[in-house]
Each structure stands twice: as C-alpha cells, then as structure tokens.
Structure 1
Amino acid sequence: MTTDPTARAAQLREQLHYHAHRYYVLDDPEIPDAEYDRLFRELQELEDAHPGLRTPDSPTQRVLGRVLEGFAPVRHAVPMLSIRTETDTEASGAEAFDARVRRELGLRPADAPVEYAAELKFDGLAINLRYEHGVLAQAATRGNGETGEDVTQNIRTISQIPLRLKFRGEVPAVIEVRGEVYIRRDDFEALNERQRAVIAAGAKNEKTFVNPRNAAAGAVRQLDPAIAAKRPLSFFGYGLGDVRGWDIPGTHSALLDAMAAIGVPVSPDRTVAQGAAGLVAFYRAMGEKRDALPFDIDGVVYKVNSRALQQRLGFVSREPRWAVAHKYPAQEQMTTLQGIEIQVGRTGKLTPVAKLAPVFVGGTTVSNATLHNQDEIDRKDVRIGDTVIVRRAGDVIPEVVGVVHATA
C-alpha cells in the first residue's frame, strides 16, 4: 500500500467507484458493507487532512447511485438526500450525536433534554412513492438523490404498498411517501433454496443472492415486472417527499402515526426518546432484539422529533444536522478460508463446511460456515486460501456468500 497521500487518495477513489458500481448499479457486491465503509472513512480522513485532495468526483462528495439504462429517469421534486452514518457501535455514538445537536441549538448542560424520534435502519432499497389525489401514480428509486428510476410497475406488485391511501376528509393533491423495500429473512432463505434447486436442475443464468438487500434491489429493478412479482418483497414507510394539500404533523413521531393512519406500513419498533440516555436505551434494546427481528437491520436512526427544530438545525454538506444513522456490528465480514470439511447429517446428507480464520460478524465470532453443497462451491469457485465473505444474520447458520477477487 502506497504511503503517498495523493496516490493513496486516487487509489481509494478508484476502488470506491468500482465497488459502488458493483453494489448500487449491478446489485452484485464483491466486498461486505463494513469493508466499503472502512475504505470510505480512510478517504474521508485523507481529504480532511489534505483538503487539496478533495475532487468533485470523489465518492465523499455525492450521493451514490445512477440511473440504469432501460428505466425512465424521474427527477425528484424534493431531493432524496442521505443522512450521516455513525459507525461507532457503542453507546458513545448516540451520545456524540446528542452533544452535536445540543451544541448547534446553543443549549446549556442545565437545559432540558432534546426529544428524538428513534426508529430502525432497514437494510433494503429506498423508494419514493408518489400519490396524486390519494392514488399511487409513480414509484422511483433514490438513484443519485436528485434523479431516480421509474419502477412503478414493479412496486405495484408489492401487496404491502397501498394503491390508494385512506384519507378522512379532503384528499391531498400530492403526497410522496418515502420508505424501504426489503425482503424478510425467512422469505430470503426460501428464495435462495428455490434458486439452488433450479440451479441444481440445470437452469442457466440463475444465481443465489448474497443478502436480502441485494435480492430486494435486484427485484425492484427488474425490467420484467412478472419477475419482480415472484420475489417476496415487503415495505416500510419512514418519511415524506413532496406534499401538497396535507397538514404535516409538528413532530416526526406524529408523522409516522399519521402515515400509519392513512394506510402506509410503518414499523412498530420505534419510540420517542429523551436526550442521549433515551437514544442509548433504544440502541441497546434494538441491538438485543436484532436477531429476533424477521428482517435485517444494520442500525437505528435518530431524528430530532420537532420539525421546527429540524428547520433550525438545517443541513451540512447535503446531510441533515438533525438526523443520524447509528450502526450495529456488520453482519458480513471478510476472512480467510482455511479448509473445507464434510459434515454428515442425521439423514446422511453431506454438507461442506468452511473452516475460517475466526472473524467477528453479526455480534459473535465465527469460525465455521456452511457452503451448502458442491454445486455452490463450484459456482462460486471457492478455494482454500481464498478471502471470502461470511454472512451471519439472526439465527441463520453462518454461510460463505462469495469470494473477494483482487482488483487493480
């Protein structure tokens, strides 16, 4: 690895562009999220130390993603911007956010705690649902934050998403619901079992999926809605975009309640938290519950509850000062495949098991992971000595989901 800051920054930009393309455009990542985050932070730190290295095309300077060929572009009426990520997976991450908010608001230690809305950070694909006079008119991906992709036909196949919202009284001219399309863990496991069966039967151009997030993203961006309809997609709403003719509640927590009242699926795992202590309590409670949830999360989100205070706090570098995503330990990590052993089940079924260099993933240390069968080993071209991606989510047995190939 080069020690020259200019050369290293250029190398990191190239690597991050490559892996962002694999993740956001091809829905086929080669490295786990935690490794991408590490490279991203290294580039951020280099640019902070040497501002002259910050280029307009740096991954740190834009919202990731681009419009795919084959989908009509959609210009967002209100940009779908990212929120800052807090990668400190301890209570201090919540405390640091609260301290920043209090400082920006000019609060003294003796002043009352700030009230926050705390919710889950779903590991799926962000979607904007545009309802005109209460009827779903268009669905678009986040894309680059300014322009997304029209995926209306595919989104209409998701039974959880209402085609018409339920209003009492006057129906607003426009209301855009923002949320996350995801796949439940049990549905994901069943989907991959079906994929393994069709591959074993000799089907061509089929694959298993690395994780629920990429399976969901791939389904939403299918050009054929009939394929999307076969994928077990779900949805949770968490915010609004363009709104015309609807009174938005004064707090984020009340907004989520109002969204649920008009028929938008909203996660029940949310709370109103008072100050840093309330945020820490929610972070810990959801961390303990994480494995028992029926879907993947990679963190929680804190938002200043008062919309008036949100407006006071404003934005910095296209990110709101009033919100942060607080991550949990990653559910995917890289490690070395040290060997392969064959495990014989009670029915005589043979299962290859990967013997791994111990790695901390999904909140525990993993040294064994399933390789499923010989067809999967062959398809993924897994070899002893390879750097592999191991995934552990919930009570699912850890598995090797891919091989990391060296990139230039």
Structure 2
Amino acid sequence: MSQQRILELRKILDRLAYEYYVLDKPSVSDQEYDRYYQELLKLEDEFPQYRDPNSITQRVGGVVLDAFEKVSHKRRMLSLDNAFNLEDLMAFDERVRQSVKNPEYVVELKMDGLAISLHYHNGRFVQAVTRGDGLVGEDVTNNVRTIASIPMHIDMEGDVEVRGEVIMPKKSFEALNEQRRNQGEEEFANPRNAAAGSIRQLDSRIAASRKLDAYLYYFEGAQQHAMHTHEEALEALEAMRIKVNPLRKVCKNMQEVWQFIQEMSERRNDLPYEIDGMVLKVNDLHAWDLLGTTAKAPRYAIAYKFPAEEVVTKLLDIVLSVGRTGRITPNAVLEPVRVAGTTVSAATLHNEDMIKEKDVRINDDVIIRKAGDIIPEVVRSLPERRNGTQGIYKFPQICPFCGSKLVRFADEAAHYCMNQDCPARIVRGMIHFASRDAMNIDTLGDKKIEFFHKQGFLNTIEDIYELSLHKEEILALEGFQEKSFQKMILAIEASKERPLEDLLFGLGIREVGKKAARVLAKTYGNIDDLMAAEEAELTAIKDIGVVTAQSIRAYFAEPKNKELIAHLKGFGLRMDTDKEVIKESIFTGKTVVLTGTLQYLKRNEAKALLERLGANVSGSVSKKTDLVIYGEASGSKLSKAKELGVATMDEEAFMKEVNANEKS
C-alpha cells in the first residue's frame, strides 16, 4: 500500500511540475502542491527501500563527485554553420533546393546555453551528457536531475535520446550575479557562461540552487518512431511532457522565414531568456538523410546569428587600471545600460591611441556593443550630440596608484608603470595567479582578492596560502560564512596539485604566456632545472626566443622571486609536471598554423588537439611552417602559405584525420 501511494504521489507531482514549470499553468494552489510533496517526503523517509533518484524530492541535489566521467555519444553532436544576413540564408536555401523540391523550414529560437543530450530507458530518465567535443561529453546526470522542467519519466518505451539546451533564465542570472557581488566573487559575464558553469559543478546542490531551465529541440531517431517531419518530432516531445519552445514556425519559403526572424528579433529583449539568433531546419526528415552532413555540421540546418546589439549611453569618466605587468589600460565609466542580456557600466578603451582615434571624450554620448556578445566595447562617440561640456582627454603621465612616472616604449601603444611594488600591480598579480588558466582557485575571484587586500590579508602571492590563519577575522566580516570560507580554503589547497605549466603561467613572468609555460614545463620537467637554465640553453628551445629567455633569466635572478618559489615549495605546491603522452599522427613533429574561423572546434581546442597529436602550433606562417589548417574567413596567413608553397588543409579534412586517428 505504501509503495503504491509513493508511486501515485510521484505521478501526481510530476504532472503538477509539468503544469507549473513547462506550461506555466498550475492547476492547484502552492499549498496543495506542498501537501502532496510533504506526504511523499515523509513516506520516502519511512520506507527508504522505495527511494528513487528520479523522485521529485531529489531535485534539491546532494551528490558530490570527484570528477565527471567521460561518455561517448552514440551519434556525434554536430555544431551548425552560421548565416549573418538574408543573402547567407538565400544561399543556404539554394543549396537545399538542389536536392529537395519546395522545402519547408522549421524556424526555432537559438537558445544561448549549453548543449545537452538526455537519455531515457523504458520511460525512465537514466543519463545526461554534455556536448563536449561532439564525440565525447561529460556525464552530468546528477546536476540535470535538479532542473525542474526536465521530466524524470516519459511515456515511451525503449531507448530514447533527446537533445537540447540547458539555459539560465534572465531572472536566475541576475539573482546569481547579485549573490556573487555580495560575496565578493567574480560575476558571470552572461547567462550562457553561468549555465555552463552551473551544470559542471561537482556538487549537485550548487546546480540546484542556480534555478536552471532547459528546452529540447531534437528527437534522435524520430523516423524510427514513424515521424516524417521535424515539426511532428517536436510535437511528439511535447506529448511526452518534454519542454519544447513554442516560439517556432513552419515556413514555406525564405520570405516567411525572414519575416519570422525579424519578428523574433524585435521581441528578443522581452523574452525571459537570452537568444543569440534563430535556427532553420528542413522540415522533411527524409531530406535530412538526403542532404547529409559535413564533418562539422548538418547540411539540412543553419543558424542565423543576430547582429551585435548596439546601444547609446553616456561616458561619465575615464579611469586607469594597472595590469600585473604594469600595463596601463584606460576604461570608460558608463551610465549603466542593458546590452545583450546584461547591464554594462564599463568598457575598455585599450590605450591612448584608441581614445584619440575614436575621439572619445568625457560626457560624450557613445555607442557601445559587446564584442562577440561578451566583452563591452565603445564603438564610436557621437560628436553631434556634444553640448560644450566635453573636453579632449589628456592621458596621465603618473601612475594613479603609486605616483610613479608612466613609460611608453617606442614600439608599443600602451603605457606602463615600472614600479614592481605598485599596489595595483600586486593585486593584479594575485588575481592572475588565482585565475582559471593558472592555479584555478575559482572561489578567489577579482573582487574578493581586492577586498582581502584592502583588509590587509593579501599582500603577496604567498599570503593566498596563509588565508586560513585569518579565519576568525574573515568570518567576522559581513557576508562571509563558515561554509563559503571552507570552500575557499579547499580550493586553495586543491591548487597545490596544479602542474608546473600552470604555476609558471600564474607567476606572471613577462613574455611567458600559456604556450611558453607549457613548452618550458615539458622541456625541464621541474622548476629547479628551469631556474638553473642559462640564456643560451633557453633560446635553443623551439618557440623560446631571445627576449623571452632574457625575461626568464631576469625573473629567476631576482632574490625576491627566488624567495617566492621557496615559500611556495614550503606550502606544498607541485613543482613538476605530468609526462605528456604524444599520439603518433600525420601532424607529429610538424609546425602547424591555425587560421580563420573554425566551426567545429574552438581555436584553443584545436590547438590542444594538435599538440596531443605531436604538432607544434605556431601563430605565424613562415618558410619553416609545414601545414596551415584554415577555417572560414581566412585571410593573410592562408594567402602567405600559398605564396610560400606551404601545404594547407581545410577544417573538414582536419576533422577527418582526427577522427581516423581516434579510431586507430
């Protein structure tokens, strides 16, 4: 009887959750829902043998993992080719019509989130996997269980795979960033990053607290279930109580497609979630097989990307920031304005020459946008709106933080503060050390480091590893609690296991970026051997030039830096690296250059992949270059390669080689 009632309650609560989170049409009051929920909770406590990880009571999370398991997709999760204007869409339509007579298109919103694959077995949710590189993703099942709009049970037998997007609604995003501001943590740049970061939390309780949502848009193997069109497949998902975006339209021609795109573009800012474009899919599923795919994208679908949103606001001031190397960056202080989903109040102006070139003045009305929908930038000023209160900005000659004279080198546009003890440089150095690409102390963001510096807790990199000594003082401050403090300390402890290349990058040695740090770590294996290396020895290493070698020698010759390394050793930081396993391939031992826009992989992913296959990835083309791999909109590098007779390979051929290597 108890088991029967538990199953009955779960069905009732699943239906009510669907009404509330998917249909937005609850049929019962909150009080009635709570009565059912509490009854189920009580019965599951009394009869633990009937507990189920898919029960609605488990949505709060509670599973903590050490790492995510890798999972191979049964069928590759492809990315989409992009269109940026009507002409691109017409060209796509023309290509489709060469194989398909009078095609219809389903036009859907392009959700700005994290691609996900959901798996059900005999109606029961069993697994969720991220897109990853399209071939292999990560098992994030425990976190996806916390998303209220994703059903744990569907009305279909057998194995069912559904793909879609995990998103963070605007309301959840704003609440999360407000919380992070209050805790002195770095804010997320946009809802997409926030969703991706949330779904990859090892503690499912954190994912649950972020109030994520999901929309599904692809029914894998729909034709095997007697469906003939993509719209029928979407309707079938809806019948299974799977959340599908109702803002879609079946269009008979490009005129209808473009009209719907314009309509959605106008409604974009009023939607409760972010979209960055629209997706067109041929409606006829049989045509999908006919059109096929490339190595990176389907030929039956394309993504239309909205133009970067530009808005007008007032430039209130220009303030300087100092980087870890002493580089001075002027930043525009803006009248807060919403751009591409977030409120923007600042934008970089890069350097003195940029300010002069754009004729940007304090009190100007300016047009701003987000480059790549992420980084705010000033596009141009509006001189026609000036009222006489504006004046030409004079770039300071003195560091506003330490009073030292600023220096501008003859071959650079930037100014520098040369004082190594400048407090701003010290803070930026600690921020860089703790950053994701360096020691990855994710609970120690920019604002928290700045705050701790003002409190006197952080004045050097070494101080990071002694923060635990300030526990009582930190917990006495407003907004700090035992749980968050312990989480921060655990992250600091975990950073001690980062390999040598991350430590070298984190130290902020001038001229040593991620690539040089990796090369140095691979060459020497441990920091002691690197510190003992002479300049001539360093310059003999491929990709380490004279300037970099001199900078490395100067850094390790400085007594203060030697003392820092000794202290970090004493704290137990790792001073060596993992031995890299190189897989033999046609790229092994070759110098390869990447150019153009890659559709299937991000540039850093392609670079890492090539390095694992034994290639040396360079940033410029020369006679020593063996191969240039190119994507869309390739420019001078591809042209130079052809002039020099360097071998070239398009991205599709590159991916075929990679896939062939993976199978071997």
With the shorter chain as reference, the TM-score category is 0.5 to 0.7
Question: Residue by residue, what CA displacement relative to the aligned partner does 1:256-277 show, whole Å, maximum 9, x if unpaired?
Answer: 1110110110111100001111
**1:104–1:337 Cα change, 3 Å:** farther
**Counterpart AA for 2:91:** A
Question: Residue by residue, what CA displacement relative to the aligned partner does 1:20-62 show, whole Å, maximum 9, x if unpaired?
Answer: xxxxxxxxxxxxxxxxxxxxxxxxxxxxxxxxxxxxxxxxxxx
Conserved 8 A contact 1:181-1:233: yes
**Counterpart AA for 2:71:** V
**1:230–1:249 Cα change, 3 Å:** same
**Secondary structure at 2:225's aligned position in 1?**
coil
Q: Which residue of 2 aligns with 1:310?
A: 288
**Secondary structure at 2:94's aligned position in 1?**
helix
Separation of aligned partners in 1, 2:186 and 2:310 = 19
Instruction: Tell me by how many angstroms 1:359 deviates.
Output: 4.7
Conserved 8 A contact 1:176-1:243: no
Q: Which residue of 1 aligns with 2:134?
A: 145
Please say if 1:235 is aligned against 2:220: no
Separation of aligned partners in 1, 2:331 and 2:121 = 57
Question: Residue by residue, what CA displacement relative to the aligned partner does 1:123-177 show, whole Å, maximum 9, x if unpaired?
Answer: 0000000000011000000111111100000000000100001x2xxx3210011
- The structure that has the greater radius of gyration is 2
**1:69–1:282 Cα change, 3 Å:** farther
Separation of aligned partners in 2, 1:291 and 1:131 = 34
Conserved 8 A contact 2:103-2:284: no
Separation of aligned partners in 2, 1:278 and 1:69 = 50
**Counterpart AA for 2:109:** L
Separation of aligned partners in 1, 2:425 and 2:269 = 30
**1:314–1:190 Cα change, 3 Å:** same
Question: Residue by residue, what CA displacement relative to the aligned partner does 1:249-297 show, whole Å, maximum 9, x if unpaired?
Answer: 2100111111011011011110000111121112111111111111111
Q: Which residue of 2 aligns with 1:400?
A: none
**Counterpart AA for 2:181:** R
| Corresponding residue to 1:158 among 137, 147, 169 | 147
Q: Which residue of 2 aligns with 1:340?
A: 333
Q: Which residue of 1 aligns with 2:480?
A: none
Instruction: Tell me by how many angstroms 1:331 deviates.
Output: 5.3
After superposing the two structures, state which structure 1 stretch, 152-161 or 316-325, moved more. Answer: 316-325
| Corresponding residue to 2:95 among 88, 93, 100 | 100
Q: Which residue of 2 aligns with 1:82?
A: 79
**Secondary structure at 1:282's aligned position in 2?**
helix
Q: Which residue of 2 aligns with 1:224?
A: 203
Instruction: Tell me by how many angstroms 1:84 deviates.
Output: 1.1
Which runs of structure 2 are paired with 1:260-279 in the superposition (5 Å)?
260-279=238-257
Conserved 8 A contact 1:94-1:279: no
Instruction: Tell me by how many angstroms 1:339 deviates.
Output: 3.7
Conserved 8 A contact 1:273-1:279: yes
**1:321–1:360 Cα change, 3 Å:** farther
**Secondary structure at 2:256's aligned position in 1?**
helix
**Counterpart AA for 2:333:** I
Question: Residue by residue, what CA displacement relative to the aligned partner does 1:289-340 show, whole Å, maximum 9, x if unpaired?
Answer: 111111111110000000111111111234211100010023599x995543
Instruction: Tell me by how many angstroms 1:103 deviates.
Output: 2.5
Separation of aligned partners in 2, 1:95 and 1:77 = 33
Separation of aligned partners in 2, 1:71 and 1:126 = 16
Please say if 1:300 is aligned against 2:289: no
**1:250–1:342 Cα change, 3 Å:** closer
Q: Which residue of 2 aligns with 1:374?
A: none
Conserved 8 A contact 1:355-1:367: no
Question: What's the TM-score, normalizing by structure 1?
Answer: 0.62
| Corresponding residue to 1:190 among 175, 179, 188 | 175
Question: Residue by residue, what CA displacement relative to the aligned partner does 1:332-362 show, whole Å, maximum 9, x if unpaired?
Answer: 99x995543799xxxxxxx976696645537
Question: What's the TM-score, normalizing by structure 2?
Answer: 0.39
Q: Tell me the number of residue pairs that the alignment of Structure 1 and Structure 2 aligns.
A: 283
Please say if 1:71 is aligned against 2:71: no
**1:223–1:99 Cα change, 3 Å:** same
Instruction: Tell me by how many angstroms 1:92 deviates.
Output: 2.2
Instruction: Tell me by how many angstroms 1:366 deviates.
Output: 7.1
Question: Residue by residue, what CA displacement relative to the aligned partner does 1:344-385 show, whole Å, maximum 9, x if unpaired?
Answer: xxxxxxx976696645537998779xxxxxxxx99997xxxx
Q: Which residue of 2 aligns with 1:134?
A: 123
**Counterpart AA for 2:257:** L
**1:312–1:220 Cα change, 3 Å:** same
**Counterpart AA for 1:217:** A
Q: Which residue of 1 aligns with 2:18?
A: none
User: Taking CA–CA contacts closer than 8 Å with sequence separation of 6 or more, which of the two structures ends up with the larger relative contact order?
Assistant: 1
**Counterpart AA for 2:75:** V
Question: Residue by residue, what CA displacement relative to the aligned partner does 1:180-211 show, whole Å, maximum 9, x if unpaired?
Answer: 00011121111101111121xxxxxx321111
Separation of aligned partners in 2, 1:259 and 1:247 = 12
After superposing the two structures, state which structure 1 stretch, 264-273 or 70-79, moved more. Answer: 70-79
Conserved 8 A contact 1:298-1:330: no
Instruction: Tell me by how many angstroms 1:241 deviates.
Output: 3.0
Please say if 1:91 is aligned against 2:54: no
**Counterpart AA for 1:100:** R
Q: Which residue of 2 aligns with 1:371?
A: none
Conserved 8 A contact 1:174-1:242: no
| Corresponding residue to 2:258 among 264, 272, 280 | 280
Question: Residue by residue, what CA displacement relative to the aligned partner does 1:188-241 show, whole Å, maximum 9, x if unpaired?
Answer: 111101111121xxxxxx321111001100110111111111112000000023
**Counterpart AA for 1:239:** Y
Separation of aligned partners in 2, 1:282 and 1:191 = 32
Conserved 8 A contact 1:337-1:354: no
**Counterpart AA for 2:169:** R
Separation of aligned partners in 2, 1:218 and 1:103 = 42
Separation of aligned partners in 2, 1:176 and 1:311 = 18
Q: Which residue of 2 aligns with 1:210?
A: 189
**1:232–1:367 Cα change, 3 Å:** farther
Q: Which residue of 1 aligns with 2:490?
A: none
**Counterpart AA for 1:232:** K
**Counterpart AA for 2:157:** P
Runs of 5+ unmatched residues, structure 2 = 1-64, 316-328, 337-343, 350-359, 361-365, 382-423, 429-507, 516-664
Conserved 8 A contact 1:179-1:238: yes
Determine which structure has the larger strand proportion and give its number. Answer: 1
Which runs of structure 2 are paired with 1:51-62 in the superposition (5 Å)?
none
**1:102–1:367 Cα change, 3 Å:** same
Please say if 1:361 is aligned against 2:369: yes
**Counterpart AA for 2:77:** M
Conserved 8 A contact 2:114-2:195: yes
